[in-house]
Amino acid sequence: MSSQVRLKLLPSIKCMFDEPIQVKVAGLRPRQVVNMRAKLTDDKGVVFSSSATYRADGSGEVDLKRDPSLGGSYVGVEPMGLLCSMRPHTMHKIYLKTNAINPQVVKFSVHEEEGRLLAEMMNERLLMRDGVTRVPVNEGNIRGVLFTPPGKGPFPVVLDLPTSVSEARPSLLANKGFVVLSVAVYNKKGDNITETHLDHFEEAMNFLKQQPKVGSKGVGIMSRCKGANIGLALAAFVPGVEAIVCMNACNANVVTPLYYKKRQILSSILFDESKFIPTESGAIIIKDALEDPLAEKNKGSLIPIERAKSHFLFAVVGDDLNWDSEAYMDEMVVRLKHHGKENFETVFYPGAGHMLEPPYAPHCPSSFNAGVGKRVLWGGEPKAHIAAEIHLWKKIQDFFKTHLSCDAAQTKAKL
């Protein structure tokens, strides 16, 4: 390494996962061309990396907040481009954080054009603020993880419904002052692949409401894709859902029939494999392969959200290659309006893809889809997708703060 070249991560080398940092380099030669790199390993051992070419200014400095990348994983001015443009070294892998206690360590480095290392620095990206607790839950039918913020409360409560186990979203929301229980739709046992039981998620709701620091009169739900199926059904059939975030949801129940109180309440629509479109990468496009939810034979799969008393936040994207989430949202909005409902908000992100996550994780353009058992393309133009995640993450927090009521008397009664 060169003793003259200095790599700076501002305001600190340690930050929260969903907070931006400023990457700067000093001590280069005037107008020197360098290669900036970032690299991390996720909790499943998958390595992600990115690189971009920059030219120093007349003072020998590079500032990613000011200077454009000339080529590499991205081009143009992208202050967090090195993080968000990372790609897995193994194709079709999604970034996973399965234990939020451990920070995500990212190595930033500066290299000469020929590759010689000039400077490097580690960035610790924390998922849990000081005082936030993480408790695995294995009780009854509940398999999940509970995150609780520090302090006496009372705190509003959110049930997070990821498709598969992932702790980034719930831990980061707990940092904002919510008690969050994360319960994956597809758990490790695999006992909910052929059919789904709403009772298990109602059990999770009841467990949440009994936590000592909780003051919510009802529960918020955070969900995407198949998780949004469960969330919408909870809002329609189970009392107590006050607010629900639905990211790229289908208006009908998909893949597995839904049961509640030992009877089937919703049939499911399926993917027609003859309509799968193969790609050179080995992943497939399934967007136009899902059965029509509005076809007469599929009416029993439509989720009756018009019955819900919840507030809805529908977030959809314009480049969803999983299914036509925009059309499904439009149908749900029409249906709610037809029933005189105004309990919803919508937000649309034109160039973003299906896999919306909290900001500054590596964007996932393709990975394994448990619903179809194959690797699929999710869509999303990187720059538009990153912008969507930044905007939506703040929108979700504001939505829950507005619509989840808290009652200190309820907390005192539990204590």
Task: Just list the catalytic residues.
Answer: 225, 320, 354
Cβ atoms 365, 320 nearer than 8 A: no
Burial class (CB in 10 A: 0-12, 13-18, 19+), 194: exposed
DSSP bridge partners of 23 = 9
Give me the residue label for tokens 């607790």: 133
- Give the helix/strand (H/E) hosting 222: strand 219-224
Which residues have C-beta within 8 Å of that of residue 257, sequence separation ≥ 6? 195, 196, 264, 266, 267, 268
CA distance 73 to 83: 10
| Residue 6, both tokens | 């200095």
| Residues present in the chain in total | 415
Query: Is residue 12 classed exposed, middle or buried when 0-12, 13-18 and 19+ CB atoms within 10 A define those classes?
Result: exposed
Closest alpha carbon to 78 in 348, 387, 379, 361: 387
* Cα 131 to Cα 330: distance, rounded to the nearest angstrom: 41
Distance, in Å, from the CA atom of 390 to the CA atom of 357, rounded to the nearest integer, reads 9
Best CA proximity match to 176, nearest among 393, 405, 389, 326 = 393
Which residues does residue 38 pair with via DSSP β-bridges, in sequence order? 50, 108
How far, in Å, CA of 372 to CA of 273, rounded?
9
Using an 8 Å Cβ cutoff, are 147 and 179 in contact?
A: yes
What is the SS3 assignment for 66?
coil
Burial class (CB in 10 A: 0-12, 13-18, 19+), 190: exposed
HSE-up (13 A, CA, CB side) for residue 302:
17
Minimal CA–CA distance to 255: which of 122, 371, 92? 371
